Structure 1
Amino acid sequence: MNIRFAALMTPLLLTVAMSGSFALADGDDEAPAKPSCPKGQVLDTRSQRCVKQTSNLVPDEDRTRYAWQLAKDGRYEEALALLDTLKQPNTAKALNYRGYATRKLGRIDEGIGYYLQSVKLDPQYAQVREYLGEAYVIKGRLDLAQEQLQQIKSICGDTRCEEYQDLAEAIDGSSKT
């Protein structure tokens, strides 16, 4: 009886444990879990298995989430390749993550273009405004970065949200150099 109970509970407990890391990854872009699939694969949250990133079984939401995990892990080219497989690539999150990966690859102007497309789709998306502001800081356009900071303050309702604090720190850090 105990063996049967354990056999039934193990997949359930694994699913619960795994779902916690995905809640963080999907939240409003909190620190994503470290990617666990080999290059060229993506995690299918339904089956909890790595599958080829070209598989039609993996929904865009999973692909987008996993691309974010890859980008935050410094695997920018892989993130972009995965974003290229989306059926619906023009979402605020997908464009934000594409902008993030291209910016981190040093293609600042291209990243800004993706950020601006994301802002157009969702003007209340605080994270994309933070990253857009950070790109402006890199370009030396502190005036434009400050505009994004004010937009974030309006979205968050105050200056305590992480996006506001991170962009304020980037602006402050650039003015000290």
Structure 2
Amino acid sequence: MKRSISKTASTCWLVCCVSLAVCGQALAMGDSTTKTPTCPKGQAWDSKAKSCVSQQSQLSDPDLAHYAYALAKAKRYDEALTVLDLLKNPDTAEALNYRGYATRKLGRTEEGIGYYLRAVDLDPRYSLVREYLGEAYVIQGRLDLAQQQLQAIEGLCGRGCEEYRDLSGAIRHSEKL
């Protein structure tokens, strides 16, 4: 009986160790859906240090932009705009898109559209900005302009991409109201 319990315990221990090792490797590898963590106010995520650091540190523009977007997605729109103000080069399609997103979510739709249009001018193939621009047009009831953005997205990534599905859904939902 002791031998049976000992063997069972050994087997359980081995299974636990292997499971932990496999899970640890999977977590270390990450995946494409890994989100940028959010930090306390006044700090930003440093992808190199893998920790929150002072926003006044020498973070790269891409780190600041991605962090601002993570804040906006966490509904911390004012903080996102503050982080975007720290960019050395705020006139990139990505930064303008994130600024437009946070601004629109604060209820300043027309101002957000201005940022989106500047982003489209810089990178007409940036499908995410076209989705957000289309959503802003839906908010304004300008379904004709939203439909134009949907057609542009279809030309960029087809009907199966997330941007197409999201904007198409927003248009359909608004037509039911």
Structure 1 87/107 Cα, relative in aligned 2: closer, same or farther at 3 Å? same
1:20 aligns with 2:30: yes
Residue of structure 1 equivalent to 2:54: 52
Q: Distance in 2 between matches of 1:59 and 1:18?
A: 23
Alignment gaps of 5+ in structure 1? 1-12, 26-31
Alignment gaps of 5+ in structure 2? 1-23
Q: Distance in 2 between matches of 1:20 and 1:136?
A: 36
Q: Distance in 2 between matches of 1:126 and 1:72?
A: 18
Q: Distance in 1 between matches of 2:37 and 2:53?
A: 17
Structure 1 19/116 Cα, relative in aligned 2: closer, same or farther at 3 Å? farther
Structure 1 18/121 Cα, relative in aligned 2: closer, same or farther at 3 Å? farther
Residue of structure 2 equivalent to 1:78: 79
Matched-pair contact (CA < 8 Å) for 1:96–1:114: yes
The residue type paired with residue 53 of structure 2 is: V
Q: Distance in 2 between matches of 1:115 and 1:90?
A: 11
Residue of structure 2 equivalent to 1:172: 172
Deviations 1:117-157 (A, max 9, x none): 1001100000000000000000010000000000000001x
Matched-pair contact (CA < 8 Å) for 1:24–1:33: no
The residue type paired with residue 162 of structure 1 is: E
Aligned-pair CA distance for 1:20? 2.7
The residue type paired with residue 98 of structure 1 is: R
- SS of match in other structure, 2:33: helix
Residue of structure 2 equivalent to 1:141: 142
Per the normalisation by structure 1, the TM-score is 0.82
| Superposition misfits of 4+ residues, deviation over 4 angstroms | 16-19
Q: Distance in 2 between matches of 1:19 and 1:46?
A: 15
Matched-pair contact (CA < 8 Å) for 2:97–2:129: yes
Q: Percent of aligned pairs with the same residue?
A: 58
Structure 1 54/109 Cα, relative in aligned 2: closer, same or farther at 3 Å? same
The residue type paired with residue 133 of structure 1 is: G
Residue of structure 1 equivalent to 2:127: 126
The residue type paired with residue 151 of structure 2 is: Q
Structure 1 85/38 Cα, relative in aligned 2: closer, same or farther at 3 Å? same
Per the normalisation by structure 2, the TM-score is 0.82
Structure having the higher Rg:
2
- SS of match in other structure, 2:53: strand
Please tell me the root mean square deviation across aligned C-alpha atoms, in Å: 1.8
- SS of match in other structure, 1:24: coil
Structure 1 119/41 Cα, relative in aligned 2: closer, same or farther at 3 Å? same
Aligned-pair CA distance for 1:48? 1.6
Q: Distance in 2 between matches of 1:49 and 1:173?
A: 40
